[in-house]
């Protein structure tokens, strides 16, 4: 099907010119498709929070294997956590033999005791532990890679962390609190009110 396009006086498009034009359009379309495919592929090569969590050391192992530990409280919806995922993945590869990397998802009620113990109210929230499992320092919020890297280098060397108390941009988080029932709310407690 050919379109009836207005032509300049004296110029007519030859079948060879149409073929060249169509060939150029196809080549540009192929180049754009390849660029889009490669662009999407490079985006997925970076570490995601799910991959970091899947590859992390279990908490029980980390606290007992004699290596220093970096514990990160995170959530998949946390934009600061997502922004740091690539750097954290690279640091994990760099220090994999020397440091345990533990990822605890704050949306999992299983970690409520740890969330409460380390007073997590913003994420990402990092807790640094020595080789013996004792807490050394905490930092909260989005941190530049250099800050985390310097802390990890000091942690491995057994030195004082240079950025022990740093705070960056966080995503607010409120831990779900399990309310304890008072005696008057418990239906089995009616006998407490009886006085002899």
49 in Cβ contact with 85 (< 8 Å):
yes
Does the active-site annotation cover 149?
no
Does the active-site annotation cover 28?
no
Helix and strand counts by DSSP (H, E) for the chain: 6, 6
115 in Cβ contact with 175 (< 8 Å):
yes
Give the three-class secondary structure for 124.
Answer: coil
CA dihedral in degrees (163, 129, 149, 48; nearest 10)? -120
Q: 125-129 and 171-172: which strand pairing?
A: unpaired
Give the Cα-Cα-Cα angle 151, 157, 158 (nearest 5 degrees): 85
Identified catalytic residue from 70, 71, 75, 81: 81
Identified catalytic residue from 75, 78, 102, 152: 78
Give the catalytic positions in this structure: 78, 81
């Amino acid at each position: 099907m050919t379109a009836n396009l207005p032509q300049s006086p004296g110029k007519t498009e030859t079948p060879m010119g149409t073929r060249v034009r169509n060939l150029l359009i196809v080549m540009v379309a192929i180049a754009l498709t390849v660029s889009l495919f490669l662009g999407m592929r490079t985006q997925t090569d970076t570490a995601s929070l799910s991959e970091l969590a899947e590859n992390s050391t279990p908490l029980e192992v980390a606290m007992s294997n004699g290596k220093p530990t970096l514990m990160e409280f995170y959530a998949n919806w946390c934009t600061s956590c997502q922004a740091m995922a690539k750097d954290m993945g690279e640091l994990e590869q760099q220090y994999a033999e020397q440091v345990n990397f533990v990822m605890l998802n704050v949306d999992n009620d299983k970690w409520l005791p740890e969330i409460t113990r380390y007073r997590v109210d913003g994420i990402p929230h990092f807790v640094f532990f020595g080789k013996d499992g004792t807490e050394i320092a905490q930092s909260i919020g989005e941190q530049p890679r250099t800050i985390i890297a310097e802390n990890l280098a000091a942690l491995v060397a057994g030195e004082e962390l240079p950025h022990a108390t740093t705070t960056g941009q966080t995503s607010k988080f409120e831990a779900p609190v399990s309310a304890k029932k008072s005696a008057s709310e418990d239906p089995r407690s009616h006998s407490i009110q009886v006085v002899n």
